[in-house]
């Protein structure tokens, strides 16, 4: 079974262990991949709708894993029992929905070793949420697939350690970290570079259209919002350039 680039990047963030819970499993591809690659021994494939679970069951049977992957109808994490999984994967849904799922069953996360999250929107808000609720983001990735960019990250409990790059005193820099990911910036990620360029082009295009439409109060407010976004992009690029120079100096 071949995973899409997005799902493979998500799966690579999952650590070795006993069991994984895949929330919103859809076709069940991630649990199947993790078991077949030996990363996990058991899995829960959960979804709020019967249709995706039926599709997942077909793929599980095709791969001879029906004794190892359990399908479960569940609204978010509601059907997850205590100690049933050491990893939780939530991927391919909006950031606001992701936060609601975490918020509704937050107490269940105490027994979970790691969260692997891939929000389709509001990435900055999701990063802030986990950062403000006792988690450390200790690894991140970004991929480009079919012209779209996807960010994913692994979170562990703060008490469990992990590389903590967050909570800097500079509010502007913190916005850049939350929006684009300090791990990606520190390694001067080339995909993030392309994403920043795309964001910059889109902002410039919107600003030009606003200039043509006139200077109404709504247009001016939108321009200020775009200027704030552009300032964060420029700060992120500046940080990446600085990290790249430091790495170059070390190698010399």
If we measure between CA atoms, which residue out of 54, 2, 53, 60 comes closest to residue 24? 53
At residue 159, the pLDDT reads 73
| Spatial distance between the Cα atoms of 4 and 129, rounded to a whole number of angstroms | 27
At residue 247, the pLDDT reads 73
188, pLDDT greater than 50: yes
214, pLDDT greater than 90: no
Among 135-144, 202-211, 213-222, 237-246, the range scoring the smallest mean pLDDT is 213-222
Q: What is the mean pLDDT of the chain?
A: 91
Q: Using one digit for the tens of pLDDT, what is the confidence trace for 87-123?
A: 999 999 999 999 999 999 999 999 999 999 999 999 9
Report residue 74's pLDDT band, with 50, 70 and 90 as the boundaries: very high
| Spatial distance between the Cα atoms of 250 and 4, rounded to a whole number of angstroms | 36
At residue 170, the pLDDT reads 59
Q: Using one digit for the tens of pLDDT, what is the confidence trace for 19-41?
A: 999 999 989 999 999 999 999 99
Question: How does DSSP classify residue 106?
Answer: G
CB neighbourhood size of 80 (10 A): 21
Can you name the CATH fold of 5-164?
A: Rossmann fold (3.40.50)
Sign of the dihedral defined by the CA atoms of residues 226, 230, 231, 232, in that order: positive
Percent of the chain predicted with pLDDT > 70 = 92
| Mean local confidence (pLDDT), 130-154 | 96
At residue 210, the pLDDT reads 82
| Mean local confidence (pLDDT), 148-168 | 74
What are the residues whose beta carbons fall under 8 Å from the beta carbon of 114, sequence distance 6 or more? 14, 15, 86, 87, 88, 154, 155, 156
Report residue 211's pLDDT band, with 50, 70 and 90 as the boundaries: confident
Strand-pairing partners, residue 47, are 73
At residue 243, the pLDDT reads 84
| Mean local confidence (pLDDT), 82-91 | 96
At residue 166, the pLDDT reads 46
């Amino acid at each position: 079974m071949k995973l899409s680039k997005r799902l493979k990047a998500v799966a690579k963030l999952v650590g070795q262990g006993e069991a994984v819970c895949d929330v919103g499993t859809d076709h069940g591809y991630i649990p199947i991949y993790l078991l077949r690659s030996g990363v996990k021994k058991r899995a829960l494939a959960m979804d709020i709708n019967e249709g995706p679970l039926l599709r997942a069951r077909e793929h599980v049977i095709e791969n001879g894993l029906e004794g190892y992957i359990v399908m479960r109808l569940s609204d978010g994490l509601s059907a997850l029992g205590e100690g049933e999984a050491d990893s939780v994967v939530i991927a391919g849904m909006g950031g606001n929905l992701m936060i609601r799922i975490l918020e509704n069953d937050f107490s269940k996360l105490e027994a979970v070793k790691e969260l692997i999250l891939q929000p389709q929107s509001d990435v900055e808000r999701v990063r802030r949420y986990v950062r403000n609720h006792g988690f450390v983001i200790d690894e991140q990735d970004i991929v480009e697939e079919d012209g779209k960019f996807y960010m994913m990250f692994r979170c562990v409990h703060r008490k469990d350690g992990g590389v903590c790059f967050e909570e800097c005193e500079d509010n502007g820099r913190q916005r850049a970290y939350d929006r684009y990911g300090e791990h990606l910036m520190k390694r001067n990620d080339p995909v993030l570079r392309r994403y920043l360029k795309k964001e910059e082009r889109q902002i410039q295009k919107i600003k030009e259209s606003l200039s043509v439409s006139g200077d109404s109060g709504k247009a001016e407010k939108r321009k200020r919002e775009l200027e704030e976004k552009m300032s964060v992009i420029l700060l992120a690029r500046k940080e990446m350039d600085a990290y790249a120079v430091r790495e170059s100096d070390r190698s010399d």
